[in-house]
A = this chain, B = another copy of it.
Amino acid sequence: MTKLTPRSKDYSQRYNEIVQEAWLAENSAVRWCMVIKPYGYALWENIRDVLDKMFKNTGHVNAYFPIFIPKSFLNKEAQHVEHFAKECAIVTHYRLKLDDNKKLIVDPEAKLDEELIVRPTSETIIWNSYKDRIHSYRDLPLLINQRANIVRREMRTRMFLRTTEFLRQEGHTAHASAEDAENETRKMLDVYNDFATNFMAISPILGPKPEHDKFAGAVTTYAVEPMMQDGKALQAGTSHNLGQNFAKAFDVKFTNDKNELEFVYATSRGVSTRLIWWLIMAHSDDTGLVVPPALAPLHVVVVPIFKTSEELKLIKDYIQPLIERFDTTRLDFKSKYFHDTIPLRRKIDEDDNKSPGWKFNEYELKGVPVRITVGAKDIANGTVEVFKRESGEKANVKLEEVDLHIDQYLYKAQNNLLKKNQEFRETHTFVVDNYNEFKEKIEQGFVMAHRDGTAETAEKIQKETSATIRCLPFDEKDEKWKCVLTGKPSTRRVLFAKSY
């Protein structure tokens, strides 16, 4: 097993090593696309399923829209086309054939009348279908969610963070008033925050994006901005109030309760496999990944220490009552929007091709919260050895107490991860009023500073420091002061950070 590069030495290299060594993803034969490997995909399944329940608990239903967007649709919303036309996969033909030299070529006679774009996002195809579905205020709200693959051409690929194809959930809702649309936008930001805090164990900063950095076609974009262990930010969850822009582009009107014809109000939002990047960047340590128990593909791995199959049998008989208790255990990670329990996921690793030491490394690298080791001595003592990944503690625990001991540890580990993430963010967030200090502190974390609100100032700061305005935090109070760069008046601090 490769020894990981320490975080302090090369954070970025270490990330790549974890993705590879923990079997999360790998490069594919198609440049710019990744293969999501079983352990990475299991993480995504847990993320997706928890979010799915949160969406259903807030009245949303799933549906599925075509992967292809007719070229003309992209052109209907001006900002939209500008943003997405540059980075798309275009289907132009529908048949291959063997040429005279038996070479496989695109059949020039099989050209599509209108080219199709592999969806970079689904607003246009969905709003086109809403036209037939929405007539009266009684048809509203329409709260639809989709789980889909998305394609946006990326040249500089980074697993989970930036690949041409990625998986995501995208919500697309329709409302009878601007107020309803704004409420939905904010509520779903709250759902993302609930998920980040209580499942990802990440404490983000929330607020609207600045005017020049909104989603293409949005009136307001709200973002969830967490801090990574190198002090940088990453936008990974956004909730957009689209106003009437898409309804106008696709001519979707409804009769309101005053019997007047009006354009429908819209919202959209999404989070993607990029969340796995969050998770790795927020919680890894020098041994590897640390997975928050609320999302762990595997909570407990049992490593029996044995030489013969008789020894293995003795161990398995010994732990059988414990395994049975595990198999009926459901863990309680309830939150504001998640009301279910999750099963405790466990595995006994009996593979005799691999040494216990190899297995220890493997599961620590993958961030499995608990490892139980059992050998002949443990049987004699009526105990097992419990290793706790988050705290690094080891303990000998009486067999009959192990399951309760582990339950309590899993909740504690989940809280510790959140607490560490929050403390790290707080100790790496700096309130700054001087541009020289700004340039120094921005290398260490988040900077809360005043700015004059112009695009020019934002651009200049970005050019000189690589920092961008991540959001206008809800938690900031109004305060009359002056821009850190130009000295012009400002009324509120905003969040600056370097980002991925």
Contact = CB atoms under 8 A, between A and B. Distances in A.
A90 B88 contact: no
Interface residues of A, number: 62
A135 to B, nearest CB: 13
Contact of A30 (B37, B44, B125, B132): B125
B91 A118 contact: yes
A88 B45 CA distance: 29
A93 B112 CA distance: 13
A319 interface: no
A86 B33 CA distance: 25
A432 interface: no
Contact of A66 (B33, B41, B74): B33
A165 B85 contact: no
Contacts of A62: 38, 41-42, 45
A267 to B, nearest CB: 17
Contacts of A117: 96
The DSSP consensus for interface residues of chain A is mixed
A380 interface: no
A66 B30 contact: yes
A370 to B, nearest CB: 21
Interface string A140-156: 00001000110101000
B106 A34 contact: no
A94 B118 CA distance: 10
Nearest to A25: B64
A129 interface: yes
Interface in A61-94: 61-75, 81, 85-94
A72 B38 CA distance: 26
Contacts of A72: 104
A315 to B, nearest CB: 22
B89 A106 contact: no
A82 to B, nearest CB: 9
Nearest to A153: B94
A450 to B, nearest CB: 39
A92 B105 CA distance: 11
Contact of A91 (B45, B65, B91, B353): B91
A63 to B, nearest CB: 5
B128 A29 contact: yes
A93 B104 CA distance: 18
A129 B72 CA distance: 36
Given A90-B91, A97-B85, A73 B29 contact: yes
A326 to B, nearest CB: 15
A335 to B, nearest CB: 19
Contacts of A42: 61-62
Closest 5 CB pairs of A and B: A33-B66, A85-B96, A36-B64, A38-B61, A90-B93
6 contacts: A28-B66, A38-B62, A42-B62, A85-B97, A90-B95, A91-B92
Interface of A: 26, 28-30, 33-38, 41-42, 44-45, 61-75, 81, 85-97, 104, 106, 115-118, 125, 128-129, 132, 138, 144, 148-149, 151, 153, 165, 167, 353
Given A37-B63, A67-B149, 5 more contacts: A35-B63, A42-B61, A67-B118, A88-B96, A89-B91
